[in-house]
Structure 1
Amino acid sequence: MQIRQKIQSEREPTIALINIVFLMLVFFMIAGTLAPPLDREIRLVRTADLEGVAPPDTLVIHKDGRLSFRGEDVSDAAAHILALPEEARAVLRVVPDRDLPARDLVKIGNALRAAGAERVILVSERALK
């Protein structure tokens, strides 16, 4: 005599919930729009050919550690700070070269602070765009 047992597979209730949520997601993606479409006649401004240029009142640090301000070389950080008017020493913007070693950037930043700069702000590529 053989005993047969019915093995009933029970499905997880979470699978049905996942399926419903997925179907709702697909429905709302098709039925609605996240933003109204632009008018087809509008031509957007092209900025691919623009060159990022440092703001004029920034201290530029080249990859070899040289400093320049408004296109002219600066001998050292302390001399640059002392040459600035008192109100310009509150916030000093610095544009470091991408290939400048971090230890050199920290050394120059510390020298600027020690010479009297209250805040040293690094200007990055994203800020120039």
Structure 2
Amino acid sequence: MRTRIHRSRIEPTIALINVVFLMLVFFMVAGTLSQPLDKDLRLVRTSDLEGRAPPDTIVVHPDGRLTYRGKAIASPQAFYAARPEDEREVVRIVPDEALSAITLVNLARDFRTLGASRVVIVTRRGLE
């Protein structure tokens, strides 16, 4: 007489749990919101940088105009003075691609002179 070999069937629930978990992570990442930037702004391209969504940033246009959340800013001093004390340590700048480097460096120097311990320039990751 032959003995029957009982094979246990592998349940597909582990694969289903993995797929559901990956979908959960995807929607958590995709659902992250950030403040909208100006529509006519083209970001500077860089590569190999750590990426994250820009929080409260000041936008610098090619002509040197400053905007914050779509509203015009008179000067770096006015922007810095209007910020709460706990947000003055780090200033984030989003420059337009056509902005001159000298203007950008001078703006960063102004914020450092006003008391910012760190000035972060936000760019987009290069596609090369």
TM-score range, shorter chain: 0.5 to 0.7
Structure 2: gaps of 5 or more residues:
1-35, 38-53
In structure 1, the gaps of 5 or more residues are 1-52
1:56 to partner: Cα distance: 5.0
* Structure-2 separation of matches of 1:119 and 1:84: 15
Give the deviation of 1:79 after TM superposition: 1.1
Query: Which residue in the other structure is 1:92 paired with?
Result: 91
How far did residue 115 of structure 1 move? 1.4
The DSSP-based 3-state class of the residue aligned with 2:80 is helix
Asked whether 1:74 is paired with 2:41, we answer: no
Matched to 1:87, the amino acid is D
Paired residues in the alignment total: 75
Instruction: Give 1:80 deviation, angstroms.
Output: 0.6
Larger Rg belongs to: 1
Q: Which runs of 4+ in 1 moved over 6 A?
A: none
AA partner of residue 63 (structure 2): D
- Asked if structure 2 preserves the Cα contact closer than 8 Å seen for 1:67 and 1:73, the reply is yes
1:52-104 deviation digits (Å, cap 9, x = unpaired): x5435100000100100011000000111111001111111110001000000
Change (3 A) 1:56 1:70: farther
Which structure shows the bigger proportion of residues in helix conformation?
A: 1
For 2:92, what is the secondary structure of its paired residue?
strand
Aligned to 2:57: 58
Percent sequence identity is 44
Secondary structure at 2:125 match in 1: helix
TM-score w.r.t. the length of structure 1 is 0.54
Paired residues of 1:56 and 1:70 also in contact (CA < 8 A): no
Q: Please report the TM-score for the alignment, with normalisation by the length of structure 2.
A: 0.55
2:114 aligned partner: 115
